[in-house]
Amino acid sequence: MITKKNSYLRPLDLKQGRIDMNHGAGGRVGTQLVDELFARAFDNDYLRQGNDGALLPVPRPGHRLVMATDAHVISPLFFPGGDIGSLAVHGTINDVAMLGATPLYLSASFILEEGFPLAQLKRIVESMAAASRACGVPIVAGDTKVVEKGKGDGLFISTAGLGLVPEGCDIGGANARPGDVVLLSGSIGEHGVAVLSQRESLDFDTTIRSDSAALHTLVAALLAAAPKGAVHVLRDPTRGGLATTLNEIAQQSGVGILLQEAAIPVLPQVAAACELLGLDPLYIANEGKLVAIVAAEAAEGVLAAMRAHPLGHSAARIGEVDADPHRFVQMSTAFGGRRVVDWLSGEPLPRIC
């Protein structure tokens, strides 16, 4: 008599195993990787639908959707204060939230390099799952692909986010008006310096941690404190730092901006690291800060609401929007002079997000 054996697949070796080309070939091994690692960690109703895409309810008429997408290629993958997984979740949620939207769903694609240790992958996926749960934004769709050794750098993650803009909310980079006040949610430069400190070629020890955080609750708090239509622009100063973000806004809105150098919060450790490395904190990336450009009469209320939120406790009023047709971002230096704060040119730090 022939006994029928239950099909058996040896569990993933999450301690010693490594990604190989089979994981991307679409066979049982690939499915196993998705089931045992990704689906288990990200588990939610939408993923459990088990289809090629997630079925989502349509928002009510009058509301609008925001969609944002983000690619993450950071090196190193782990850094003080986070890793590529939590960064991917925070970064995408922030892009959605900067339009005043409530983030609802995320998707994530993973490009894995042959030979990548499963233990590291597990750590990253679990960190991503934890971040998504903490933010209350589920990862509802995903994909994995494997590339040959040498054709990737361990792991790249591409994410997309979908969010809901409430009726009547109109926030965008083109909305800054002369007379508006520029608010910043906290000290700048921590993410870039934390990542830089981990580079193999740089021997310096620091206690600086990345500020990587999801800002949607801070956005909700400041919007709740502002009269309708008083918040004109929200943007998170990531790559290129505060200087680049403000130049983008000045360009988009056709205005100038005048900053007060002394008002911009910078941690002394960050200032010291930048001094040593010849960098300017204004150009260093942040992953948990936002710039809010608001109508002058609403500025005090919005600032107070930001300061009352844990992610905005050191928020500050850093400058004003003016009617400069040349769209310069300028700064009154703490020294008493004045200068342009220009776009970032070239790259101070490779691959920081």
Partner 1 sequence: MKYVDEFRDGALARNLATSLRAEVDPARSYSFMEFCGGHTHALARYGVADLLPANVRMIHGPGCPVCVLPIGRIDLAIQLALERDVMLCSYGDVMRVPASDGLSLLRAKARGGDIRMVYSPGDALRLARNHPEREVAFLAIGFETTTPPTALVIRQAAREGLKNFSVICCHVLTPSAITHILQSPEVAQYGTLPLDGFVGPAHVSIVIGSAPYEPFARAYRKPVVISGFEPLDVMQSILMLVRQVNQGRAEVENQFTRAVDRVGNRAAQAVMAEVFELRDSFEWRGLGEVPFSALKIRPEFATFDAERRFGLSYQAVPDHKQCECGAILRGVKRPADCKLFGTACTPEHPMGSCMVSSEGACAAHYTYGRFRDIPLVTAT
- Output the smallest distance, CB 196 to partner 1, in A: 11
- Output the smallest distance, CB 309 to partner 1, in A: 29
- Output the smallest distance, CB 338 to partner 1, in A: 5
- Taking the least distance from each CB to partner 1, the nearer of 3 and 201 is 201
Per CB under 8 A, 295 contacts partner 1 = no
- Taking the least distance from each CB to partner 1, the nearer of 39 and 344 is 344
Per CB under 8 A, 48 contacts partner 1 = no
Per CB under 8 A, 271 contacts partner 1 = yes
Three-class DSSP category at 65: strand
Query: Per the structure block, which two tokens stand in for 254?
Result: 């056709």
Q: Which residues, listed in sequence order, are joined to residue 71 by a DSSP beta bridge?
A: 158
- Taking the least distance from each CB to partner 1, the nearer of 44 and 260 is 260
Query: What does the radius of gyration of the chain's CA atoms come to, in whole angstroms?
Result: 22
Query: Per the structure block, which two tokens stand in for 203?
Result: 């021997």
Any residues with CB less than 8 A from the CB of 179 and at least 6 apart, and which? 295, 296, 320, 321
Per CB under 8 A, 150 contacts partner 1 = no
Query: Per the structure block, which two tokens stand in for 182?
Result: 């520029």
Q: Which stretch binds partner 1 (CB under 8 A): 87-95, 115-123, 125-133, 339-347?
A: 339-347
Q: Binding to partner 1 (CB under 8 A): which residues in 174-203?
A: 178-179, 201-202
Query: Per the structure block, which two tokens stand in for 81?
Result: 């204060």
User: Which residue do the tokens 């892009």 mark?
Assistant: 95
Per CB under 8 A, 275 contacts partner 1 = yes
Cite the beta strand spans of 57-175 per DSSP E: 64-72, 78-79, 82-83, 102-113, 139-147, 155-165
Three-class DSSP category at 137: coil
- Taking the least distance from each CB to partner 1, the nearer of 132 and 330 is 330
- Output the smallest distance, CB 321 to partner 1, in A: 8
- Taking the least distance from each CB to partner 1, the nearer of 91 and 256 is 256
- Taking the least distance from each CB to partner 1, the nearer of 214 and 270 is 270
Closest CA to 264 of 328, 221, 315: 315
DSSP-derived pairing of the beta strands 139-147 and 102-113: parallel
Among 208, 328, 352, 353, binds partner 1 (CB under 8 A): 328
CA dist., res. 277 & res. 261, Å (int)? 20
- Which residues of this protein are in contact with partner 1, per CB under 8 A? 178-179, 201-202, 256, 258, 262, 268, 271-272, 275, 277, 320-326, 328, 330, 332-340, 342, 345-346, 348
